[in-house]
Amino acid sequence: MALITKKIKGCEDVLPKQSYRWQFVENIMREEASKFGFKELRTPVFEHTALFARGVGATTDVVQKEMYTFDTKGGESVTLRPEGTAGAARAVLEHALTNEGLPIKAYYLTSCYRYEKPQAGRLREFHQFGIEEYGTSSPAADAEVISLADSIFKRLQIKNLHLEINSIGCPECRAKYNSAVREYFGQFKDELCGNCKNRLEKNPMRLIDCKVPSCAEIAKDAPSILDYLCEECESHFEQVKAYLKVAGIDFKVNPKIVRGLDYYTKTVFEFVSDAIGSQGTVCGGGRYDGLIEELGGQHLPSLGYAMGLERLLMVMENQGIEIPEPEPCAVYVAGLGDRAQTKAFELVNSVRLSGLSAETDVVGRGLRAQMKYADKIGAKFSVVIGDNELDENKAELKNMTTGEKTALPLDGSFAEKFASLYLSEKFGNME
Protein backbone atom coordinates (compact mmCIF):
# COMPACT_ATOMS: atom_id res chain seq x y z
CA MET A 1 0.00 0.00 0.00
CA ALA A 2 1.43 3.35 -1.07
CA LEU A 3 1.88 6.18 1.42
CA ILE A 4 -0.79 8.85 1.07
CA THR A 5 1.86 11.56 1.50
CA LYS A 6 5.48 12.25 2.40
CA LYS A 7 7.16 15.15 4.16
CA ILE A 8 6.97 18.53 2.45
CA LYS A 9 9.97 19.59 0.38
CA GLY A 10 12.42 21.62 2.43
CA CYS A 11 11.31 20.10 5.76
CA GLU A 12 13.11 17.37 7.68
CA ASP A 13 12.14 14.81 10.31
CA VAL A 14 14.26 14.48 13.44
CA LEU A 15 14.07 10.76 14.19
CA PRO A 16 14.34 9.23 17.69
CA LYS A 17 17.88 7.97 16.99
CA GLN A 18 18.93 11.52 16.05
CA SER A 19 17.06 13.66 18.57
CA TYR A 20 19.66 13.25 21.33
CA ARG A 21 22.09 15.28 19.20
CA TRP A 22 19.63 18.19 19.10
CA GLN A 23 18.88 17.90 22.81
CA PHE A 24 22.59 17.98 23.67
CA VAL A 25 23.14 21.20 21.72
CA GLU A 26 19.91 22.80 23.00
CA ASN A 27 20.77 21.99 26.62
CA ILE A 28 24.16 23.68 26.30
CA MET A 29 22.50 26.73 24.76
CA ARG A 30 20.03 26.93 27.65
CA GLU A 31 22.79 26.53 30.25
CA GLU A 32 25.02 29.21 28.72
CA ALA A 33 22.12 31.62 28.27
CA SER A 34 21.20 31.16 31.92
CA LYS A 35 24.78 31.99 32.99
CA PHE A 36 24.44 35.33 31.18
CA GLY A 37 21.08 36.07 32.81
CA PHE A 38 18.79 35.24 29.86
CA LYS A 39 15.43 33.52 30.35
CA GLU A 40 13.33 31.65 27.80
CA LEU A 41 10.63 33.39 25.76
CA ARG A 42 8.12 31.45 23.66
CA THR A 43 5.98 33.17 21.05
CA PRO A 44 3.28 31.87 18.64
CA VAL A 45 4.29 30.14 15.42
CA PHE A 46 2.25 32.65 13.41
CA GLU A 47 1.63 36.37 13.79
CA HIS A 48 -0.28 39.09 11.97
CA THR A 49 1.45 39.72 8.66
CA ALA A 50 1.77 43.43 9.43
CA LEU A 51 4.24 42.62 12.23
CA PHE A 52 6.80 41.24 9.80
CA ALA A 53 6.13 43.82 7.09
CA ARG A 54 6.91 46.59 9.58
CA GLY A 55 9.46 44.83 11.78
CA VAL A 56 11.51 42.88 9.23
CA GLY A 57 11.12 45.42 6.42
CA ALA A 58 8.84 45.59 3.40
CA THR A 59 11.79 45.79 0.98
CA THR A 60 13.61 42.70 2.25
CA ASP A 61 13.71 39.42 0.35
CA VAL A 62 12.12 37.74 3.38
CA VAL A 63 8.96 39.84 3.19
CA GLN A 64 8.79 40.17 -0.59
CA LYS A 65 9.52 36.57 -1.58
CA GLU A 66 9.92 34.10 1.27
CA MET A 67 7.08 34.37 3.79
CA TYR A 68 4.32 31.80 4.21
CA THR A 69 1.30 34.10 4.34
CA PHE A 70 -2.38 33.12 4.30
CA ASP A 71 -5.80 34.44 5.24
CA THR A 72 -7.66 32.94 8.18
CA LYS A 73 -11.35 32.03 8.05
CA GLY A 74 -11.97 35.34 9.78
CA GLY A 75 -10.26 37.23 6.97
CA GLU A 76 -7.07 38.10 8.86
CA SER A 77 -3.72 37.93 7.06
CA VAL A 78 -1.28 35.88 9.15
CA THR A 79 2.25 34.64 8.50
CA LEU A 80 4.34 31.77 9.80
CA ARG A 81 7.29 33.37 11.56
CA PRO A 82 10.27 33.78 9.20
CA GLU A 83 12.51 34.82 12.11
CA GLY A 84 12.27 35.24 15.88
CA THR A 85 13.02 38.87 16.67
CA ALA A 86 9.82 40.54 15.46
CA GLY A 87 7.64 38.24 17.57
CA ALA A 88 9.86 38.75 20.61
CA ALA A 89 9.66 42.53 20.22
CA ARG A 90 5.89 42.35 19.91
CA ALA A 91 5.73 40.32 23.15
CA VAL A 92 7.92 42.88 24.95
CA LEU A 93 5.51 45.64 23.94
CA GLU A 94 2.25 43.77 24.44
CA HIS A 95 3.13 42.57 27.94
CA ALA A 96 4.92 45.77 29.01
CA LEU A 97 8.03 43.82 30.02
CA THR A 98 9.88 47.10 30.50
CA ASN A 99 8.00 47.46 33.80
CA GLU A 100 9.97 44.49 35.13
CA GLY A 101 13.28 46.35 34.86
CA LEU A 102 15.93 46.85 32.22
CA PRO A 103 17.62 45.29 30.44
CA ILE A 104 15.15 42.63 29.34
CA LYS A 105 17.11 39.47 28.55
CA ALA A 106 15.38 36.66 26.69
CA TYR A 107 16.30 33.67 24.55
CA TYR A 108 14.27 31.39 22.32
CA LEU A 109 14.58 27.99 20.67
CA THR A 110 12.12 28.00 17.83
CA SER A 111 11.16 26.88 14.34
CA CYS A 112 11.04 29.37 11.46
CA TYR A 113 9.62 29.18 7.95
CA ARG A 114 10.81 30.66 4.66
CA TYR A 115 9.89 29.67 1.14
CA GLU A 116 13.24 29.37 -0.58
CA LYS A 117 15.15 26.81 -2.59
CA PRO A 118 16.17 23.95 -0.27
CA GLN A 119 19.89 23.19 -0.17
CA ALA A 120 22.52 22.12 2.33
CA GLY A 121 22.15 24.34 5.37
CA ARG A 122 19.04 26.09 4.06
CA LEU A 123 15.58 24.62 4.61
CA ARG A 124 11.99 25.86 4.42
CA GLU A 125 11.41 24.83 8.01
CA PHE A 126 14.50 25.48 10.10
CA HIS A 127 15.32 25.97 13.76
CA GLN A 128 17.06 28.79 15.57
CA PHE A 129 18.46 29.63 18.95
CA GLY A 130 18.08 33.35 19.46
CA ILE A 131 19.09 35.99 22.00
CA GLU A 132 17.16 39.23 22.59
CA GLU A 133 18.31 42.06 24.86
CA TYR A 134 16.15 45.19 25.22
CA GLY A 135 16.74 48.47 27.00
CA THR A 136 20.46 49.15 26.65
CA SER A 137 22.50 51.22 24.22
CA SER A 138 25.81 50.33 25.87
CA PRO A 139 28.51 48.84 23.63
CA ALA A 140 29.16 46.45 26.53
CA ALA A 141 25.82 44.81 25.69
CA ASP A 142 26.97 44.25 22.10
CA ALA A 143 30.08 42.51 23.39
CA GLU A 144 28.00 40.56 25.94
CA VAL A 145 25.72 38.91 23.38
CA ILE A 146 28.70 38.12 21.15
CA SER A 147 30.47 36.62 24.19
CA LEU A 148 27.45 34.40 24.84
CA ALA A 149 27.58 33.04 21.29
CA ASP A 150 31.33 32.50 21.63
CA SER A 151 30.85 30.62 24.91
CA ILE A 152 28.34 28.28 23.27
CA PHE A 153 30.74 27.50 20.42
CA LYS A 154 33.52 26.83 22.93
CA ARG A 155 31.29 24.46 24.94
CA LEU A 156 30.45 22.61 21.72
CA GLN A 157 34.19 22.45 20.86
CA ILE A 158 33.60 23.96 17.41
CA LYS A 159 36.79 25.03 15.67
CA ASN A 160 37.64 27.39 12.83
CA LEU A 161 34.76 29.80 13.39
CA HIS A 162 35.53 33.36 12.37
CA LEU A 163 33.82 36.34 13.97
CA GLU A 164 33.29 39.19 11.51
CA ILE A 165 31.89 42.52 12.69
CA ASN A 166 30.82 45.79 11.14
CA SER A 167 28.86 48.93 11.95
CA ILE A 168 26.12 50.09 9.60
CA GLY A 169 25.53 53.23 11.64
CA CYS A 170 22.34 55.02 12.58
CA PRO A 171 19.63 56.21 10.14
CA GLU A 172 21.48 59.51 9.63
CA CYS A 173 24.72 57.72 8.71
CA ARG A 174 22.93 55.37 6.38
CA ALA A 175 21.06 58.13 4.56
CA LYS A 176 24.40 59.62 3.45
CA TYR A 177 25.84 56.19 2.74
CA ASN A 178 22.84 55.08 0.69
CA SER A 179 23.24 58.15 -1.51
CA ALA A 180 26.88 57.24 -2.13
CA VAL A 181 25.95 53.62 -2.87
CA ARG A 182 23.26 54.66 -5.36
CA GLU A 183 25.70 56.95 -7.11
CA TYR A 184 28.39 54.26 -7.31
CA PHE A 185 26.20 51.35 -8.44
CA GLY A 186 24.21 53.60 -10.75
CA GLN A 187 27.24 53.59 -13.05
CA PHE A 188 26.82 49.83 -13.47
CA LYS A 189 23.01 49.59 -13.53
CA ASP A 190 22.87 47.61 -16.76
CA GLU A 191 25.31 45.03 -15.37
CA LEU A 192 23.42 44.37 -12.11
CA CYS A 193 21.24 41.32 -11.50
CA GLY A 194 17.47 41.79 -11.39
CA ASN A 195 17.35 41.84 -7.59
CA CYS A 196 20.06 44.48 -7.35
CA LYS A 197 18.39 46.69 -9.92
CA ASN A 198 15.36 46.70 -7.64
CA ARG A 199 17.49 47.24 -4.51
CA LEU A 200 19.23 50.21 -6.09
CA GLU A 201 16.24 52.42 -5.31
CA LYS A 202 14.52 50.62 -2.44
CA ASN A 203 17.33 49.16 -0.32
CA PRO A 204 20.74 50.14 -1.75
CA MET A 205 22.82 48.84 1.16
CA ARG A 206 21.84 45.28 0.22
CA LEU A 207 23.83 45.60 -3.01
CA ILE A 208 26.99 45.34 -0.93
CA ASP A 209 26.50 41.66 -0.03
CA CYS A 210 24.89 40.32 -3.22
CA LYS A 211 26.23 36.81 -3.91
CA VAL A 212 25.82 36.96 -7.71
CA PRO A 213 29.44 36.91 -9.00
CA SER A 214 29.03 39.86 -11.38
CA CYS A 215 27.47 42.02 -8.65
CA ALA A 216 30.05 40.90 -6.07
CA GLU A 217 32.82 41.97 -8.45
CA ILE A 218 31.28 45.42 -8.86
CA ALA A 219 30.83 45.73 -5.08
CA LYS A 220 34.56 45.26 -4.44
CA ASP A 221 35.21 48.96 -5.09
CA ALA A 222 31.98 50.26 -3.55
CA PRO A 223 32.10 52.90 -0.79
CA SER A 224 32.60 51.59 2.75
CA ILE A 225 29.97 52.34 5.41
CA LEU A 226 32.81 52.87 7.88
CA ASP A 227 33.75 56.06 6.03
CA TYR A 228 30.26 57.48 6.64
CA LEU A 229 29.80 56.81 10.36
CA CYS A 230 28.92 59.79 12.52
CA GLU A 231 31.05 60.51 15.58
CA GLU A 232 28.68 58.73 17.99
CA CYS A 233 28.41 55.58 15.85
CA GLU A 234 32.16 55.46 15.30
CA SER A 235 32.78 55.80 19.04
CA HIS A 236 30.26 53.03 19.78
CA PHE A 237 31.96 50.68 17.32
CA GLU A 238 35.40 51.38 18.77
CA GLN A 239 34.13 50.58 22.26
CA VAL A 240 32.55 47.32 21.07
CA LYS A 241 35.92 46.27 19.65
CA ALA A 242 37.64 47.23 22.90
CA TYR A 243 35.23 45.08 24.95
CA LEU A 244 35.76 42.11 22.61
CA LYS A 245 39.51 42.42 23.03
CA VAL A 246 39.10 42.47 26.82
CA ALA A 247 37.01 39.29 26.54
CA GLY A 248 39.75 37.64 24.47
CA ILE A 249 37.51 37.19 21.42
CA ASP A 250 39.24 37.45 18.05
CA PHE A 251 37.41 39.28 15.29
CA LYS A 252 37.81 40.75 11.84
CA VAL A 253 36.17 43.98 10.69
CA ASN A 254 34.27 43.26 7.46
CA PRO A 255 32.61 46.35 5.93
CA LYS A 256 30.63 44.09 3.58
CA ILE A 257 28.41 42.74 6.39
CA VAL A 258 25.04 44.50 6.24
CA ARG A 259 22.64 41.65 7.24
CA GLY A 260 19.42 41.01 5.35
CA LEU A 261 16.79 42.59 7.57
CA ASP A 262 15.90 46.27 7.68
CA TYR A 263 15.78 46.63 11.45
CA TYR A 264 19.54 46.53 12.02
CA THR A 265 21.51 49.60 13.21
CA LYS A 266 25.11 50.12 14.32
CA THR A 267 26.79 46.82 15.23
CA VAL A 268 26.23 43.81 12.97
CA PHE A 269 28.18 40.57 13.17
CA GLU A 270 28.43 37.02 11.88
CA PHE A 271 30.18 33.85 13.00
CA VAL A 272 31.25 32.10 9.81
CA SER A 273 32.44 28.54 9.25
CA ASP A 274 34.31 27.18 6.24
CA ALA A 275 33.12 23.64 7.02
CA ILE A 276 29.70 23.73 5.32
CA GLY A 277 30.26 25.39 1.96
CA SER A 278 28.51 28.51 0.74
CA GLN A 279 25.96 28.63 3.58
CA GLY A 280 28.72 29.28 6.09
CA THR A 281 27.05 31.73 8.48
CA VAL A 282 26.03 29.81 11.61
CA CYS A 283 25.21 32.87 13.74
CA GLY A 284 24.28 36.40 12.77
CA GLY A 285 22.87 39.42 14.51
CA GLY A 286 23.49 42.89 15.77
CA ARG A 287 21.76 45.96 17.10
CA TYR A 288 18.23 47.12 16.19
CA ASP A 289 17.67 50.28 18.19
CA GLY A 290 14.68 51.49 16.15
CA LEU A 291 12.65 48.27 16.04
CA ILE A 292 10.47 48.86 19.08
CA GLU A 293 9.55 52.33 17.82
CA GLU A 294 8.76 50.89 14.41
CA LEU A 295 6.27 48.56 16.11
CA GLY A 296 4.55 51.39 18.01
CA GLY A 297 6.49 51.61 21.25
CA GLN A 298 8.73 54.17 22.88
CA HIS A 299 12.43 54.23 21.98
CA LEU A 300 14.06 51.12 23.43
CA PRO A 301 17.56 50.27 22.16
CA SER A 302 17.82 46.56 21.47
CA LEU A 303 20.10 43.89 20.09
CA GLY A 304 20.42 40.16 19.60
CA TYR A 305 21.22 37.34 17.21
CA ALA A 306 20.09 33.95 15.94
CA MET A 307 22.07 30.82 15.20
CA GLY A 308 20.77 28.01 13.01
CA LEU A 309 20.67 24.61 14.67
CA GLU A 310 20.78 22.65 11.40
CA ARG A 311 23.90 24.48 10.27
CA LEU A 312 25.51 24.14 13.69
CA LEU A 313 24.97 20.38 13.67
CA MET A 314 26.38 20.19 10.14
CA VAL A 315 29.53 21.98 11.29
CA MET A 316 29.91 19.64 14.25
CA GLU A 317 29.44 16.58 12.06
CA ASN A 318 31.93 17.81 9.45
CA GLN A 319 34.50 18.51 12.19
CA GLY A 320 34.02 15.06 13.70
CA ILE A 321 32.79 16.41 17.03
CA GLU A 322 31.30 13.54 19.00
CA ILE A 323 28.03 14.13 20.81
CA PRO A 324 27.54 11.86 23.84
CA GLU A 325 24.85 9.29 23.25
CA PRO A 326 22.06 9.04 25.84
CA GLU A 327 22.24 6.54 28.67
CA PRO A 328 20.94 3.15 27.45
CA CYS A 329 18.32 1.09 29.23
CA ALA A 330 19.58 0.18 32.71
CA VAL A 331 17.65 -3.09 33.00
CA TYR A 332 15.35 -5.22 30.88
CA VAL A 333 12.98 -7.49 32.84
CA ALA A 334 11.61 -10.45 30.86
CA GLY A 335 8.52 -12.33 32.03
CA LEU A 336 7.51 -15.87 31.06
CA GLY A 337 3.75 -16.23 31.30
CA ASP A 338 1.01 -13.87 32.45
CA ARG A 339 1.82 -14.03 36.16
CA ALA A 340 5.52 -13.40 35.58
CA GLN A 341 4.84 -10.62 33.12
CA THR A 342 2.68 -8.84 35.68
CA LYS A 343 5.55 -9.06 38.17
CA ALA A 344 7.98 -7.81 35.51
CA PHE A 345 5.76 -4.79 34.89
CA GLU A 346 5.68 -4.07 38.65
CA LEU A 347 9.47 -4.25 38.96
CA VAL A 348 10.08 -2.09 35.89
CA ASN A 349 7.74 0.54 37.28
CA SER A 350 9.59 0.58 40.62
CA VAL A 351 12.97 0.98 38.88
CA ARG A 352 11.65 3.91 36.83
CA LEU A 353 10.35 5.57 39.99
CA SER A 354 13.86 5.27 41.45
CA GLY A 355 15.15 7.41 38.58
CA LEU A 356 16.62 4.77 36.25
CA SER A 357 15.45 3.53 32.87
CA ALA A 358 13.87 0.10 32.58
CA GLU A 359 11.87 -1.83 30.00
CA THR A 360 9.79 -4.97 29.75
CA ASP A 361 7.81 -6.66 27.01
CA VAL A 362 4.66 -4.91 25.77
CA VAL A 363 4.44 -6.75 22.43
CA GLY A 364 3.90 -10.38 23.46
CA ARG A 365 7.33 -11.79 22.54
CA GLY A 366 8.78 -15.11 23.63
CA LEU A 367 11.89 -15.23 25.80
CA ARG A 368 14.35 -15.50 22.93
CA ALA A 369 12.82 -12.52 21.14
CA GLN A 370 12.74 -10.53 24.38
CA MET A 371 16.43 -11.08 25.01
CA LYS A 372 17.24 -10.18 21.41
CA TYR A 373 15.33 -6.93 21.91
CA ALA A 374 17.14 -6.26 25.21
CA ASP A 375 20.45 -6.61 23.39
CA LYS A 376 19.27 -4.36 20.55
CA ILE A 377 18.39 -1.48 22.90
CA GLY A 378 21.72 -1.86 24.71
CA ALA A 379 20.29 -2.86 28.10
CA LYS A 380 23.06 -2.97 30.69
CA PHE A 381 21.39 -5.67 32.79
CA SER A 382 18.61 -8.19 32.33
CA VAL A 383 16.37 -10.25 34.60
CA VAL A 384 14.29 -13.27 33.53
CA ILE A 385 11.26 -14.13 35.66
CA GLY A 386 9.37 -17.41 35.41
CA ASP A 387 7.38 -19.61 37.79
CA ASN A 388 10.49 -20.78 39.69
CA GLU A 389 11.63 -17.21 40.32
CA LEU A 390 8.17 -16.24 41.51
CA ASP A 391 8.00 -19.19 43.88
CA GLU A 392 11.44 -18.45 45.32
CA ASN A 393 10.80 -14.67 45.30
CA LYS A 394 14.22 -13.98 43.78
CA ALA A 395 15.84 -13.83 40.35
CA GLU A 396 19.28 -13.46 38.83
CA LEU A 397 20.38 -10.07 37.54
CA LYS A 398 22.70 -10.57 34.57
CA ASN A 399 25.34 -8.11 33.43
CA MET A 400 24.82 -8.11 29.64
CA THR A 401 28.48 -7.29 29.00
CA THR A 402 30.36 -9.55 31.39
CA GLY A 403 27.74 -12.26 31.94
CA GLU A 404 28.19 -11.90 35.71
CA LYS A 405 25.05 -12.76 37.70
CA THR A 406 23.75 -11.45 41.04
CA ALA A 407 20.69 -12.68 42.93
CA LEU A 408 18.11 -10.03 43.79
CA PRO A 409 14.83 -10.34 45.75
CA LEU A 410 11.59 -9.77 43.84
CA ASP A 411 10.03 -7.77 46.66
CA GLY A 412 9.76 -4.05 47.39
CA SER A 413 13.53 -3.76 47.83
CA PHE A 414 14.31 -4.79 44.22
CA ALA A 415 14.54 -1.25 42.81
CA GLU A 416 16.67 0.08 45.66
CA LYS A 417 19.13 -2.82 45.53
CA PHE A 418 19.34 -2.74 41.74
CA ALA A 419 19.95 1.03 41.74
CA SER A 420 22.73 0.66 44.32
CA LEU A 421 24.42 -2.07 42.30
CA TYR A 422 23.95 -0.24 38.97
CA LEU A 423 25.31 3.09 40.20
CA SER A 424 28.28 1.54 42.03
CA GLU A 425 29.27 -0.31 38.86
CA LYS A 426 28.69 2.72 36.64
CA PHE A 427 30.80 5.11 38.68
CA GLY A 428 33.28 2.42 39.57
CA ASN A 429 33.97 1.95 35.84
CA MET A 430 34.43 5.71 35.45
CA GLU A 431 37.22 5.59 38.02
Whole-number Å distance between alpha carbons of 182 and 189: 10
Q: Which fold has domain 331-419?
A: Rossmann fold (3.40.50)
Whole-number Å distance between alpha carbons of 345 and 392: 18
Q: Which fold has domain 16-170+230-318?
A: BirA Bifunctional Protein; domain 2 (3.30.930)
- pLDDT per residue of the chain (431 residues) written in tens, 0 to 9: 789 999 999 999 999 999 999 999 999 999 999 999 999 999 999 999 999 988 887 767 788 789 999 999 999 999 999 999 999 999 999 999 999 999 999 999 999 999 988 887 789 999 999 999 999 999 999 999 999 999 999 999 999 999 999 999 998 998 899 999 999 999 999 999 988 988 888 888 888 888 899 999 999 999 999 999 999 999 999 999 999 999 999 999 999 898 766 778 999 999 999 877 666 899 999 999 999 999 999 999 999 999 999 999 999 999 999 999 999 999 999 999 999 999 999 999 999 999 999 999 999 999 999 999 999 999 999 999 999 999 999 999 999 999 999 999 999 999 999 999 999 887 665 44
- Measured N-to-C along each axis, helices 338-353 and 414-430 cross at an angle, to the nearest 10 degrees, of 60
331-419 and 16-170+230-318 share a CATH fold: no
HSE-CB for 23 with a 13 A CA cutoff = 10
Instruction: Give the number of other Cβ atoms within 10 Å of residue 223's Cβ.
Output: 17
Beta strands, E only, 8-156: 39-40, 46-48, 69-71, 77-80, 104-113, 125-134
Instruction: Report which of 101, 96, 106, 98 is spatially closest to residue 132, judged by C-alpha positions.
Output: 106
Phi-psi region of 174 (alpha: psi -120 to 50; beta: other; left: phi over 0): alpha
The residues spanned by each domain of the chain are 16-170+230-318, 331-419
Instruction: Give the number of other Cβ atoms within 10 Å of residue 325's Cβ.
Output: 11
Residue 55 contacts residue 63 (beta carbons within 8 Å)? no
